[in-house]
Structure formats: structure tokens, C-alpha cells
């Protein structure tokens, strides 16, 4: 018998030498796949540029976003709009403010709304999702009942059109930037909760959860150490995609006049709403913020989609 | 008293209906009264076709499914009535090796983390170093290289993964290991390696096995006592040699006759029994003997009205059939079921 084990040992040693001795985790391999994906690289570049501009915006903007070019001067009404020119790259808006500077400073607001609202939706949604998922998988009969009640409530939220829900929340809380963040965040809660709970349910039925139970591992450790980490990848993908949606929805809320009432702080959605009035005379003023919103949303979507592919368990070698 | 005693174990899964509030509309009788004993240091093999409840029975021993009725006594402690936390601690003494080696290992854990988890849960080993030393010992025992520690399950082959599964059970130094189809997901060449490993470990560590399998050859090779399950209960139980030499229950006879014999002459001349029909639904098992709907030796009386108990026909050979003795003696004739004529006989006729 010992000769057999010796042989097996030798074989194992031989095969071990050809492979790397330290293993690669799934997360590392997913990251490698992500790096090789063109979509991910383009998305990440767009996001990086956007983030840099949003952070540095106020310092690199050539003018103050509120400085008006012709303050105190009297001008004929027709010639109010000045197109792109040497000192104003994107021209001036209807009040004679530098559009380029406003775009740069506005990026920060857009990023802030997107990140904070998604973070809010992600955190609250995941807490609800983990609770419901844990109750449903390991909570026994009572847990399944709790899960049913919570999920029916989440379904109710999910059934409401997201913009309507956001508008209602904003209407209740009053007009401010915080309102927009909360409103957009609340809309995301049911999505994250449902997604995480569903993924946890799928993982809860898997053999390794049964194996952990058989080992005598405590339930809390099974949920937090096994089920949740394995259920997170769809949620992370959703969070990236949600950033895009959040930016668009925040812009929509601002456009509808529910955003920051302080006109001095530029925000892409507000800029778009204001440009609408002068669309005949200066259509480009509507185009700049729209393109900004579209490109940023595209960046997050590209990265999100690439992550979805990189994290797909079916692609594991 | 044997090390592990199952007495009248029943596992019934309720069938639920209803949108908001569940209403029980019936039960699936997955395991319906199984009594068996596993001796210390021995191997008990459990065979049966898919859906007969053998996996559920294995899980019931560890209370991974709720036991409806009956007792599971390990070394004097009834596991069926233990509170949850006590049961969790008892799991150190009963471990399980799963059918799907990859599925039963968390893909995000490396081998060290996988193997130390159980030790941490039961407070074995004072610190990381001590656990690592212990894990290395076990890895060597199951024939895995020591550098496997920092690698992940997906980087191993099927056979190696099953060795990891076995190592995970072994680090807890259990008394009983339940092997649920331990080799059915592996290549035939690897199957032999894993079976031999299980036998070596039993010899060197004095382990007790409850092996669940559908492969008769595997079970025969490894088991001391074999129990044959059909639709949630045992129909026959006997020492390995005795069961294979002379199966007494009609179902066991049919099972055995389905195993091909690697000798063309014998294979062509032996008689085979083909069962007709499908396994009845465990949600509505037939009355009387569970097997009477498919039994080739079904008789007019008793079979469809009275459920046969497992009774000893001598030499520890137990069978749950009213007419087992008569069938063995040849005084009862076959009433149904296709008997495939031996090929040799047909050729002779032509």
C-alpha cells in the first residue's frame, strides 16, 4: 500500500512543479479577464477622465462658473449667444457665463449625485437583501415567512415606475441636492435587495453550503463567509450599471426642477433644462450637457458590461 | 451496541401550495422507516436507484434535513433530538464526503481556508500554525502535495478535488464518515484510486464508513454489510458476500442481474430480469409492499395489502419480502416481468 501512496506523491510533486505553487483566486482571474477586455479599458478610461475632471474641475476651469461676461453692459437681444471662440472654448450661455467652465464644475455635482445615490441604494438594498436571503436560506420556516413578507414589499416598490417614485420622494422632501440623491437612491434599493437575495438563494442551495453545514460551521459564518461573497458579483455589476442610470435620473430630476434650487451651482441636468428655452437660438447649449451625460453613462455601462462578462461563472476555466 | 444506530428513521418533506401562506397538501415520503446499524471500524454500503432516498438518509444522519420521526444514535447520543447548537458540535464526529467534488468546495476559498474552517468551528488547533501543521499531515495522508495549501479548488483535477473533500472530513478526526456517492462523478480510473484511498484511511485511522452509491461494483468492493433501498425503505440487508452470492429480495435479484459479467460465455447464458414500469412517486407510495407494482414474483395475497418487515433469514441476511424463502426454494413461480431468454438458448433453438 505504501508504494502506491509514494507513487501518487511523486506524481503530485511532478505535476505541482510545472504549475505555479501559489494559486490564483477567482477574483484575480476575473481581474485578468477584465484587463484583457477592450470594452472594460475604454469604459475605465472614460470614467477616469470624468472623475479627474469632476475632482479638479473648479481649479482647472478657466473662468468662474458664475462670472458673466457682459455684466453691466447693454447688448442687443439677438446677439446674446456667443458660439465657441478662442477664450471661451464652448461659447457662452444665455447669461454670458463660460459654458466650458460650467461643464467642468457641473461634472462634480453629477458624479456626487451618481456615487452617493448608488451607494445609498447599494448599502440599504444589500442590507435588506442579505437579511432576506439569510432568512430564506438558513432561517427555517419562520425565516422563509419573513423573507416572503419583505420581498412582497420590495416587489411593490419595484412595481412603481422609478422616475415616478423618485419624483414622489423629491416632492415630499423638498427641493435640494440631497433630495435628488435620496430619491435616486431609494429607487435603487429594491433592485439591489432583490438581486442579492436571488443570488443568495441560488448559492444557498449549493453543495458547498451543505458541506459547511455538515462541517459544523456556524450559520452566521456560512452566510457572511460563503453565501454573500459568492453572491456579490451580480450586485457589483449592477452597481456599476446603476451609476449610469443614477446620473441620468439625477439629470432628469434636475431637469424637472426638483434638483438644487441654487442656480449658481452648475449641474448638467439643470443646464440642459435651461438650454431648452433657448434651443432655437443656441442648440449647442443643450448638446454639451447631453453629450456629457451620455458619455459618462456610456463609460459606466461599458465597464459594467465588461465586469459582467469577466465575473460570469460559466467562463471559468 | 453498534457505533451508529438508526431506528425507524423517517424523513417526510411537506408539499406546499399557496401564494402568501403555505398550506401543506401532502408529503414526499423520501425516507420511510429505516433501521440499520453501522459497526465501528466497518463499512456499511447503501445501494438503490435514483430517488430511493439513500442520499436523504445520509443527510438525515447529519441532520442536514429535518428528521420527521425515529432516532439516530451515535455512541449513545440521539442526534435526532439534540438542540441545534449541540448538534452542530456533534458534527465533528460525523463527517460527510459529497458526490460533486467541485460543487462542495467554495470556489473562493483556498485549500488552507477550506480545511481550517471546520477546525476553527470546533476549536481544534490553538493557532494558525498548529492548524497548518495538522492540515499538511492530512494532505500528505490523502496524497496531495503540501504546496496545495494556497491554491484554489478550480486548479485541481476531479480526483484531487475529491481528495480535498476527504481531507476536509478527516481534519476533524470524525468517528463516522458518510460518503455520498464518493466516486460517481469521477473517471473510472480515478474511481479506483479514491476507493483505495478510502480503504487505506480506514485501515490506518480506524474509520467507520456509511457509503451511499448506486454502483454495485463499488459498494461490493468497499462494504462489509450492504443495505438495498427501494422507495424510502430497506428491502434487504446482508453481509456483502452473502448478498452478492444469493440475493433474496426480488428487487435485489433484478439489480444484480443488471450488472454485466465480464465473461462472454457466462454473460450469454445467464438469465436476466427486466423490471417493468417506473419507480412509483414517493409522494404516493403503493400500499402493502412498496415493490409489488413492479415485482416479477408478486403473489395474490399479502403483497398489495401488508407491508413486509425486515426479517432475518439466517446468517444476518435480512429481507423484507413475504415470500423470500419460497422464492429462494423455488416453490413460488414468477408471475410477471419480462425474462430475457439466455442468448445461448435462443441460438440453440435456431
Per the CB < 8 A criterion, the answer to whether A117 and A185 are in contact is yes
pLDDT digits 0-9 by tens, A284-304: 888 888 898 889 989 998 998
**Is residue B226 predicted with pLDDT exceeding 50?**
yes
The answer, for A3 touching chain B at a CB cutoff of 8 Å, is no
The answer, for B98 touching chain A at a CB cutoff of 8 Å, is yes
B196/A4 Cβ within 8 A: yes
Which residues of chain B lie closer than 8 angstroms to A217, CB-CB? Answer: 117-118, 121
**Is residue B26 predicted with pLDDT exceeding 90?**
no
**pLDDT bracket for residue B314 (50, 70, 90):** confident
Which residues of chain B lie closer than 8 angstroms to A229, CB-CB? Answer: 108
Task: State the Cα–Cα distance between residues A111 and A299, nearest whole angstrom.
Answer: 12
Q: What is A205-231 written as a DSSP string?
A: TSHHHHHHHHHT--HHHHIIIIIHHHH
The answer, for A314 touching chain B at a CB cutoff of 8 Å, is no
Q: Which of B95, B140, B160 has the CB atom closest to A214's CB atom?
A: B95
Beta pairing, strands B176-180 & B208-213: parallel
A1/B145 Cβ within 8 A: no
Give percent of chain B above pLDDT 90: 39
B154/A316 Cβ within 8 A: yes
Show which of residues 115-174 on chain A sit within 8 Å of chain B, judged by CB atoms: 148, 152
Structure confidence at residue B78 (pLDDT)? 92
Which residues of chain B lie closer than 8 angstroms to A28, CB-CB? Answer: none
Which residues of chain A lie closer than 8 angstroms to B145, CB-CB? Answer: 9, 12-13, 16
Q: Vertex B316, ends B310 and B317: CA angle to 5°?
A: 60
Which residues of chain A carry a pLDDT beneath 70?
1-5, 8-23, 69-83, 86, 88-89, 261, 263, 313-317
Best of A7, A33, A211 to mutate (most B CBs within 10 Å, chain B): A211
The answer, for A208 touching chain B at a CB cutoff of 8 Å, is yes
Structure confidence at residue B259 (pLDDT)? 81
Per the CB < 8 A criterion, the answer to whether A238 and A195 are in contact is yes
Q: Chain A: nearest CA to B245, how far in angstroms?
A: 28
The answer, for B24 touching chain A at a CB cutoff of 8 Å, is no
Structure confidence at residue B167 (pLDDT)? 93
The secondary structure of residue B65, as a DSSP letter, is: S
Q: Chain A: nearest CA to B300, how far in angstroms?
A: 45
Structure confidence at residue B328 (pLDDT)? 85
Q: Chain B: nearest CA to A311, how far in angstroms?
A: 12
pLDDT digits 0-9 by tens, B43-91: 999 998 888 889 999 999 999 988 999 999 998 899 999 998 899 999 9
A8/B104 Cβ within 8 A: no
Structure confidence at residue A44 (pLDDT)? 92
Q: Edge-to-edge strands of the sheet including B69-74?
A: B23-38, B4-17, B69-74, B77-78
Task: State the Cα–Cα distance between residues A165 and A152, nearest whole angstrom.
Answer: 17
**Is residue B345 predicted with pLDDT exceeding 60?**
no
Question: What's the whole-number mean pLDDT along residues B4-10?
Answer: 92
CATH of region A26-67+88-315, choose from 2.60.40.420, 1.10.3720.10, 1.20.1250.20, 3.50.50.60: 1.10.3720.10
The answer, for A220 touching chain B at a CB cutoff of 8 Å, is no
Looking at domain B4-230, its CATH class is: alpha beta
Structure confidence at residue B342 (pLDDT)? 56
ipTM of the complex: 0.84
Question: What's the whole-number mean pLDDT along residues B275-301?
Answer: 86
Q: Which of B104, B143, B193 has the CB atom closest to A207's CB atom?
A: B104
Structure confidence at residue B236 (pLDDT)? 93
Q: Please, where in chain B does CATH 3.40.50.300 lie?
A: 4-230
Q: Which of B98, B121, B147 has the CB atom closest to A211's CB atom?
A: B98
Q: Chain B: nearest CA to A217, how far in angstroms?
A: 5
pLDDT digits 0-9 by tens, B185-208: 888 888 988 999 999 999 999 999
Which residues of chain B lie closer than 8 angstroms to A23, CB-CB? Answer: 110-111, 150-152, 155
Q: Which of B118, B144, B151 has the CB atom closest to A23's CB atom?
A: B151
Task: State the Cα–Cα distance between residues A98 and A108, nearest whole angstrom.
Answer: 17
Which residues of chain B lie closer than 8 angstroms to A16, CB-CB? Answer: 145, 147-148
Structure confidence at residue A19 (pLDDT)? 47
Task: State the Cα–Cα distance between residues A207 and A229, nearest whole angstrom.
Answer: 15
A12/B144 Cβ within 8 A: yes
Residue of B nearest to A6 (CA): B143
User: Which residues is B29 bridged to in the sheet?
Assistant: B12
Beta pairing, strands B233-239 & B318-319: antiparallel
A215/B168 Cβ within 8 A: yes
Greatest C-alpha distance within chain A: 103
Which residues of chain B lie closer than 8 angstroms to A210, CB-CB? Answer: 59, 64, 98, 104
Q: Chain A: nearest CA to B231, how far in angstroms?
A: 24
Among residues B74, B97, B290, the alpha carbon closest in space to that of B178 is found at B97
pLDDT digits 0-9 by tens, B176-186: 999 999 988 88
B46 compared with B339, residue with greater pLDDT: B46
Question: What's the whole-number mean pLDDT along residues B301-326?
Answer: 88
Q: Edge-to-edge strands of the sheet including B225-230?
A: B94-97, B176-180, B208-213, B43-47, B225-230, B233-239, B318-319, B311-312
Structure confidence at residue A18 (pLDDT)? 47
Show which of residues 304-333 on chain B sit within 8 Å of chain A, judged by CB atoms: none
B200/A214 Cβ within 8 A: no
The answer, for B163 touching chain A at a CB cutoff of 8 Å, is no
The answer, for B189 touching chain A at a CB cutoff of 8 Å, is no
- Cα torsion A171, A174, A178, A184 to 10°: value is 0
Task: Classify the C-alpha dihedral B48-B50-B53-B55 as positive or negative.
Answer: positive
Residue of B nearest to A218 (CA): B121
Structure confidence at residue A125 (pLDDT)? 93
Q: Chain A: nearest CA to B115, how far in angstroms?
A: 10
Kindly state the helix (H) or strand (E) to which residue B61 belongs, with its residue range. helix B54-61
**pLDDT bracket for residue B280 (50, 70, 90):** confident
Which residues of chain B lie closer than 8 angstroms to A207, CB-CB? Answer: 98-100, 103-104
A206/B117 Cβ within 8 A: no
A237: three-class secondary structure by DSSP: helix
The answer, for B55 touching chain A at a CB cutoff of 8 Å, is no
Cβ neighbours for A273, distance < 8 A, ≥ 6 positions apart: A254, A255, A256, A257
Task: State the Cα–Cα distance between residues B233 and B223, nearest whole angstrom.
Answer: 19
Kindly state the helix (H) or strand (E) to which residue A203 belongs, with its residue range. helix A177-204
Which residues of chain A lie closer than 8 angstroms to B20, CB-CB? Answer: 148, 152
Structure confidence at residue A72 (pLDDT)? 59
Structure confidence at residue B161 (pLDDT)? 92
Its pTM stands at 0.80
Amino acid at each position: 500500500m505504501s508504494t502506491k501512496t509514494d507513487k501518487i506523491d511523486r506524481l503530485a510533486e511532478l505535476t505541482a512543479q510545472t504549475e505555479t505553487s501559489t494559486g490564483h483566486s477567482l477574483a484575480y482571474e476575473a481581474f485578468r479577464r477584465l484587463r484583457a477586455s477592450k470594452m472594460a479599458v475604454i469604459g475605465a478610461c472614460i470614467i477616469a477622465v470624468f472623475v479627474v475632471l469632476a475632482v479638479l474641475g473648479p481649479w482647472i476651469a478657466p473662468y468662474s462658473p458664475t462670472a458673466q461676461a457682459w455684466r453691466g453692459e447693454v447688448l442687443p437681444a439677438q446677439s446674446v449667444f456667443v458660439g465657441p471662440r478662442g477664450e471661451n472654448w464652448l461659447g457662452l450661455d444665455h447669461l454670458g457665463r463660460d459654458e466650458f467652465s460650467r461643464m467642468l464644475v457641473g461634472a462634480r455635482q453629477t458624479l456626487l449625485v451618481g456615487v452617493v445615490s448608488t451607494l445609498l441604494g447599494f448599502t440599504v438594498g444589500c442590507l435588506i437583501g442579505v437579511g432576506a436571503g439569510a432568512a430564506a436560506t438558513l432561517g427555517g420556516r419562520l425565516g422563509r415567512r419573513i423573507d416572503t413578507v419583505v420581498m412582497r414589499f420590495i416587489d411593490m416598490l419595484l412595481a412603481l415606475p422609478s422616475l415616478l417614485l423618485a419624483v414622489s420622494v423629491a416632492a415630499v422632501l423638498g427641493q435640494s441636492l440631497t433630495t435628488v440623491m435620496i430619491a435616486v437612491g431609494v429607487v435603487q434599493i429594491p433592485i439591489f435587495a432583490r438581486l442579492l437575495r436571488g443570488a443568495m438563494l441560488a448559492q444557498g442551495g449549493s453543495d458547498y453550503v451543505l458541506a459547511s453545514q455538515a462541517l459544523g460551521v456556524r450559520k452566521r459564518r456560512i452566510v457572511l463567509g460563503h453565501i454573500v461573497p459568492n453572491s456579490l458579483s451580480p450586485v457589483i455589476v449592477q452597481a456599476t450599471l446603476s451609476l449610469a442610470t443614477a446620473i441620468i435620473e439625477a439629470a432628469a430630476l434636475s431637469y424637472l426642477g426638483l434638483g438644487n434650487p441654487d442656480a449658481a451651482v452648475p449641474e448638467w441636468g439643470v443646464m440642459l433644462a435651461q438650454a431648452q428655452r433657448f434651443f432655437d437660438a443656441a442648440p449647442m447649449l443643450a448638446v454639451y450637457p447631453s453629450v456629457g451625460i451620455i458619455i459618462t453613462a456610456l463609460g459606466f455601462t461599458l465597464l459594467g458590461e465588461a465586469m459582467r462578462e469577466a465575473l460570469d461563472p460559466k467562463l471559468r476555466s | 451496541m453498534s457505533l451508529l444506530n438508526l431506528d425507524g428513521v423517517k424523513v417526510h418533506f411537506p408539499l406546499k401550495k399557496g401564494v402568501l401562506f403555505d398550506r401543506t397538501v401532502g408529503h414526499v415520503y423520501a425516507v420511510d422507516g429505516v433501521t440499520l446499524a453501522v459497526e465501528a471500524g466497518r463499512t456499511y454500503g447503501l445501494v438503490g436507484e435514483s430517488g430511493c432516498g439513500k442520499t436523504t438518509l445520509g443527510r438525515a444522519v447529519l441532520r442536514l434535513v429535518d428528521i420527521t420521526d425515529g432516532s439516530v444514535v451515535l455512541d449513545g447520543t440521539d442526534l435526532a433530538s439534540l438542540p441545534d447548537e449541540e448538534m452542530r458540535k456533534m458534527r465533528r464526529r460525523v463527517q460527510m464526503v459529497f458526490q460533486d467534488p467541485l460543487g462542495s468546495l467554495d470556489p473562493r476559498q483556498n485549500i488552507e481556508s477550506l480545511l481550517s474552517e471546520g477546525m476553527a468551528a470546533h476549536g481544534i488547533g490553538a493557532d494558525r500554525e498548529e492548524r497548518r501543521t495538522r492540515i499538511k499531515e492530512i494532505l500528505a495522508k490523502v496524497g496531495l502535495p503540501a504546496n496545495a495549501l494556497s491554491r484554489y479548488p478550480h486548479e485541481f483535477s476531479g480526483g484531487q478535488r475529491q481528495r480535498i473533500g476527504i481531507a476536509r472530513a478527516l481534519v476533524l478526526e470524525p468517528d463516522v464518515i458518510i460518503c455520498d456517492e464518493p466516486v460517481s462523478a469521477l473517471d473510472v480510473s480515478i474511481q479506483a484510486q479514491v476507493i483505495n484511498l478510502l480503504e487505506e484511511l480506514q485501515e490506518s485511522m480506524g474509520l467507520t464508513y456509511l457509503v451511499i452509491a448506486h454502483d454495485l461494483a463499488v459498494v461490493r468492493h468497499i462494504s462489509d454489510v450492504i443495505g438495498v433501498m427501494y422507495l424510502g425503505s430497506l428491502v434487504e440487508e446482508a453481509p456483502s458476500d452473502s448478498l452478492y452470492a444469493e440475493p433474496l429480495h426480488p428487487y435485489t435479484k433484478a439489480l444484480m442481474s443488471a450488472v454485466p459479467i465480464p465473461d462472454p460465455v457466462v454473460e450469454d447464458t445467464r438469465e436476466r430480469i427486466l423490471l417493468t414500469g417506473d419507480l412509483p412517486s414517493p409522494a404516493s407510495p403503493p400500499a402493502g409492499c412498496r415493490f409489488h407494482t413492479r415485482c416479477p414474483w408478486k403473489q395474490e395475497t399479502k403483497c398489495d395489502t401488508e407491508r413486509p418487515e425486515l426479517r432475518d433469514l439466517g446468517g444476518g441476511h435480512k429481507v423484507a419480502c413475504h415470500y423470500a424463502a419460497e422464492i429462494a426454494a423455488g416453490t413460488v413461480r414468477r408471475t410477471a416481468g419480462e425474462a430475457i431468454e439466455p442468448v445461448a438458448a435462443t441460438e440453440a433453438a435456431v
